[in-house]
Structure 1
């Protein structure tokens, strides 16, 4: 897809050659796919139904980077094609983007159940579809170590080596529950409907967290780098959290660090990380207790450089292991930081977050240590 032209030449949506298998029984849609997605070095191969696509997947020795498929087709539907792809170990990690009606919730649910990676609604906005395909490819390649080889040619890593591989499945499950509960709530009135809608909102938050984790892990969120006052950031986030904490009768006591202490990173992501950590600490603190927040100079950050340590402590329950914690860790990882959570013998939870004073070019993986949890 041609995006425009610069002094250096033409600008295309795909910066690397991509092989796409476009499956649709409508010849016009197949022509559109070739015309809209073609780019230098890439190849758009078409198939007229699921059976034709399955034969090409099995016989093509070069392999494909992704599949775009309509759902309702003769001989073999897009649903059946997804099932065949996921049942074959060679194609288990091959991204499959399906095209469906905008309001066809049943088709969307079923497509995710049989293994679709993502979907796009009709009528197709080809530019938006192109950006979505680029994101899906980038996320897939990041999960497999940045390799540009087709997913079918890459051995799947052990599940325990890549815990965020579960995120797509979790997102699909959350979406199914949201759709089902929302449908049921529409036919109810009174407290029962309100309870259901609250559940829908909670599931929606889960899905948003899962999506954010996947985005950060895949590098899909555009990060900026700027110098940030540690004192200003902590003061701002502590004040923001005071309202929710006071509702549980939990006080937040901030010991402001020196004004000259500065960290470097993405302000939006670091703000989100501190909100998550302060929120989790306050929510787990005993009623009537105090959440203490301070900072200290750290002699060594995760990558061996000088940094700053943010320290939080409160009497209360252990922090739960949930999606908020997973997202927090991903953001810390993106900033080459280190997070340690401890439980003391006095039933106090302590969180130690170390952030380097300047972000490295190559970001090492963050460490999460949980010690002394009951």
Structure 2
């Protein structure tokens, strides 16, 4: 089980040492800071902090400012923060809670009840975290299912219109009785269009069945290399057809990610498929991933295709985008809005950067709380 990671901010070295001793006995790992500025640096640079204990009256950056900074940062906005201070005036307590303190203890501390206070707060925080995750999963399920249904219906409707137009041309050709070869060509065209509709409906049906169960983006921890290799395998046939090799050029082999592996692999493979389709014959597509110092993971797909104006992809990430162009020119299936929804279901984002004649770079950003390196398990 992972040890609880605690940051203590107090300008009194004796108090800091007391906290460290008591918390270590409780099975916590403790880092200390003499003021709010040093504590904020610890909170920013450590991707896994479970609890902060903060004195209000410190030099340079006081406790109020530290709490405000923490609540304004995505990674620490839900961090439990205990204010520990000798101040007992009601205004100080009210101000501390108004800027985001979770609980309040006064000095001198009653060490006999300190352990119980910490344990209760951590249980409460865990319950709140579970509740937030359930809400996020439910919202993610709604977004993803909406995208799948809407895009599948759009593909079917467009295909039906195409078939009606083809049948009209076929009827005209047959009635003229003059061009048998053209009639056979139109029949071939009709067969291809029917197959496209069938593929879209089958894919939509398959994804809908997979999404009928609870969306789970937390409970499966998989090696990042395996997930990306699976995405690469999904596009092998397309890669061979277009003579555009897909290469994994850099991935941290010791990185693990907590995710829905099928969903995230689908998102990456869709971006790879788009990159292959946009690249010229003999072009290259690369897949790379990095874990950054703050723990954030980026998965990047680069191609050397013609590139597009920046607004091109911005429009295609909107839920209301009319998918006609994408269906004709990009990857088959439910499109970039689904990739965006999958990224957001994991607390991440999808960014696409492209310029004419400079290729395209698609980046999935995954937050630090979903990423672990192998040495984290041993710690």
TM-score bracket for the superposition, by shorter chain length: 0.3 to 0.5
Higher share in strand = 1
The structure with the larger Rg is: 2
More RCO (CA 8 Å, sep 6+): 2
How high is the TM-score relative to the length of structure 1?
Answer: 0.43
How high is the TM-score relative to the length of structure 2?
Answer: 0.42
Higher share in helix = 2
